[in-house]
Amino acid sequence: MAKEPVSSPQPLSFPPSHFAKLAPRSYLHAHLSSSNGQRPSGRLPHESRKPQINTGSLTHCHGSAVVRAGDNAVVCGIRVEILNASDIVDCKPSTTIEALGQRYGGGLTKHPEVTDGATRRQSRTEDAEEMAQLDLLVPNVELSTGCSPSYLPGMPPSTEAQSLSHRVLTLLHISQLISMDDLRIWYHPSSASTPPMPQPPSEAPTAPDPTSMSLDVPNDTTSSDEEDAQRPEVKAYYVLHITLLVLSLSGPPFPAIWTALLSALRNTRLPKAWWDVDRQCVICSPRISDSRPLNLNGLPIAMSCGVFNAEKDGAGLVSQVEEGGEKGVKKWILCDIDGFEEGCCEEEVTVVVREKQEAQGHGMEILRIEKSGGGFVGRKELREIVALAYERWKVLKGVIEGNV
- pLDDT at site 209: 52
Cβ count within 10 A of residue 36: 8
* Strand, coil or helix: 33: coil
292/357: higher pLDDT: 292
- pLDDT at site 198: 43
- Is 402's pLDDT higher than 60? yes
CA atoms within 13 A on the CB side of 325: 0
In contact, 373 and 348? CB cutoff 8 Å: yes
Residue type, 309: N
- pLDDT at site 238: 94
pTM > 0.85: yes or no: no
193/400: higher pLDDT: 400
Q: In this predicted structure, which of 56-70, 166-180, 355-369, 379-393 has the lowest mean pLDDT?
A: 355-369
* Count of all residues that appear for the chain in the document: 404
- pLDDT at site 111: 44
How many distinct helices (H) and strands (E) make up the chain?
11, 16
| Torsion, Cα of 342, 343, 349, 350 (10° steps) | 40
Q: What pLDDT digit, counting tens, does each position of 305-323 carry?
A: 999 987 745 444 444 433 4
- Is 157's pLDDT higher than 80? no
DSSP assignment of 85-144 equals: GGG--S-----BHHHHHHHTTS--SSS-----HHHHHHHHHHHHHHHHHHT-EEEEEEE-
- Is 230's pLDDT higher than 60? yes
User: Whole-angstrom distance between the N-terminal and C-terminal Cα of the chain?
Assistant: 82
- pLDDT at site 229: 58
| 1-15, 196-210, 276-290, 362-376: range with highest mean pLDDT | 276-290
Residue type, 128: A
